[in-house]
Structure 1
Amino acid sequence: MQPQTQLLHQEHWPTTGFDSVQPGVFRASTVFFPDMAAWRQRDWLSKDRFIYGPHGTPTTFELEARIAHLEGAAHALLCASGLNAIALVHMALLRPGDEVVVPINVYPAHRALLTGELASWGIQVALYDPTDLSTLRIGEATRLVWVEAPCSITMEFPDVPAIAAAARQAGVLTALDNTWGAGVAFCPFDLGIDISAQALTKYANGAGDVVMGSVSVRDKSLYDALKRCSARFGLHVPAGEAEAVLRGLQSLAVRYAAHDRTGRLLARHLAGSGAVVEVLHPALPGACGHEFWQRDCRAAAGIFSVVFDAKYSQQDIDGFIDALQLFRIGFSWGGPVSLVLSYGRDVASLRPLAGELVRFSAGLEAPEDLLDDLSQALALLL
Structure 2
Amino acid sequence: MSKLSPETKKKIKSRTKLVYAGRNPAEQFGFINTPIYRGSTVLFDTVEELRDYKARFNYGTRGTPTTEALEIAWSELAGAATTTLVPSGLAAVALALMTAVKAGDHLLVTDSAYRPTRIFCDTILKRMGVEVEYYDPLLGGEIASLFKPNTSAILTEAPGSQSFEMQDIPAISAAAHARDICVILDNTWATPLFFSPHTHGVDLAIEAGTKYLSGHSDLLLGLVSASATWARRLRSTFDAFAMCAGPEDVYLALRGLRTMELRLKEAERQAFRLALWLQQRPEVREVLHPALPTCPGHDIWKRDFAGSSGLFSVILHPASDAAVAAMLDGLELFGLGYSWGGYESLLVPFDCSDYRTATTWNPGGPALRFQVGLEDLDDLQADLDAGFARLRATA
- TM-score norm. by structure 1 comes to 0.91
Give 1:135 deviation, angstroms: 5.0
1:361 corresponds to which residue?
371
1:235 corresponds to which residue?
243
1:229 maps to a residue whose letter is T
> Bigger shift: 229-238 or 341-350?
341-350
Return the alpha-carbon distance in structure 2 between the equivalents of residues 152 and 88 of structure 1: 19
- Cα 1:350–1:19 shift into 2, 3 Å: farther
Give 1:19 deviation, angstroms: 2.0
Return the alpha-carbon distance in structure 1 between the equivalents of residues 28 and 197 of structure 2: 38
Superposition pairs for residues 164-175 of structure 1, below 5 Å? 164-175=173-184
Larger radius of gyration: 1
* Residue in structure 2 matching 1:225, options 233, 238, 241: 233
Superposition pairs for residues 185-264 of structure 1, below 5 Å? 185-219=194-228, 222-264=230-272
In the alignment, is the contact (CA less than 8 A) between 1:345 and 1:357 conserved in 2? no
1:281 aligns with 2:289: yes
For structure 1, list consecutive stretches of 5 or more residues without a partner in the other structure.
1-14
* Residue in structure 1 matching 2:303, options 291, 295, 298: 295
Give 1:346 deviation, angstroms: 2.8
Give 1:212 deviation, angstroms: 0.6
Give 1:364 deviation, angstroms: 1.1
Give 1:234 deviation, angstroms: 2.4
Give 1:224 deviation, angstroms: 2.1
Residue aligned with 2:184, SS:
strand
Superposition pairs for residues 111-150 of structure 1, below 5 Å? 111-133=118-140, 134=142, 136=144, 137-150=146-159
In the alignment, is the contact (CA less than 8 A) between 1:156 and 1:287 conserved in 2? no
Return the alpha-carbon distance in structure 2 between the equivalents of residues 49 and 213 of structure 1: 22
1:153 aligns with 2:162: yes
1:7 corresponds to which residue?
none
Q: Give % identity.
A: 35
Return the alpha-carbon distance in structure 2 between the equivalents of residues 60 and 90 of structure 1: 22
Return the alpha-carbon distance in structure 2 between the equivalents of residues 111 and 223 of structure 1: 25
Give 1:213 deviation, angstroms: 0.3
- Cα 1:290–1:297 shift into 2, 3 Å: same
> Bigger shift: 351-360 or 20-29?
20-29
Give 1:228 deviation, angstroms: 1.9
1:18 corresponds to which residue?
29
In the alignment, is the contact (CA less than 8 A) between 1:105 and 1:350 conserved in 2? no
* Residue in structure 1 matching 2:41, options 23, 30, 33: 30
Q: Deviations over 1:306-363 (max 9, x none)?
A: 01101x1111111111121111011100001101000146364644110111101001
- TM-score norm. by structure 2 comes to 0.89
Superposition pairs for residues 7-86 of structure 1, below 5 Å? 18-43=29-54, 48-86=55-93
In the alignment, is the contact (CA less than 8 A) between 1:26 and 1:239 conserved in 2? yes
> Bigger shift: 128-137 or 242-251?
128-137
In the alignment, is the contact (CA less than 8 A) between 1:198 and 1:214 conserved in 2? yes
- Cα 1:16–1:167 shift into 2, 3 Å: closer
Return the alpha-carbon distance in structure 2 between the equivalents of residues 362 and 17 of structure 1: 37
- Cα 1:274–1:234 shift into 2, 3 Å: same
- Cα 1:280–1:185 shift into 2, 3 Å: same
RMSD: 1.7
Aligned length: 363
1:42 maps to a residue whose letter is Y
Residue aligned with 1:381, SS:
helix
In the alignment, is the contact (CA less than 8 A) between 2:100 and 2:182 conserved in 1? no
Give 1:368 deviation, angstroms: 1.5
In the alignment, is the contact (CA less than 8 A) between 1:345 and 1:355 conserved in 2? no
Residue aligned with 2:137, SS:
coil
Residue aligned with 1:380, SS:
helix
2:390 maps to a residue whose letter is L
- Cα 1:105–1:309 shift into 2, 3 Å: same
Q: Deviations over 1:259-309 (max 9, x none)?
A: 101111111111111001010010101212100000011110100100110
Return the alpha-carbon distance in structure 2 between the equivalents of residues 16 and 295 of structure 1: 42
Residue aligned with 1:127, SS:
strand
For structure 2, list consecutive stretches of 5 or more residues without a partner in the other structure.
1-25
Return the alpha-carbon distance in structure 2 between the equivalents of residues 41 and 302 of structure 1: 46
1:373 corresponds to which residue?
383
Return the alpha-carbon distance in structure 2 between the equivalents of residues 215 and 77 of structure 1: 5
2:104 corresponds to which residue?
97
- Cα 1:17–1:150 shift into 2, 3 Å: closer
In the alignment, is the contact (CA less than 8 A) between 2:312 and 2:370 conserved in 1? yes
1:326 corresponds to which residue?
333
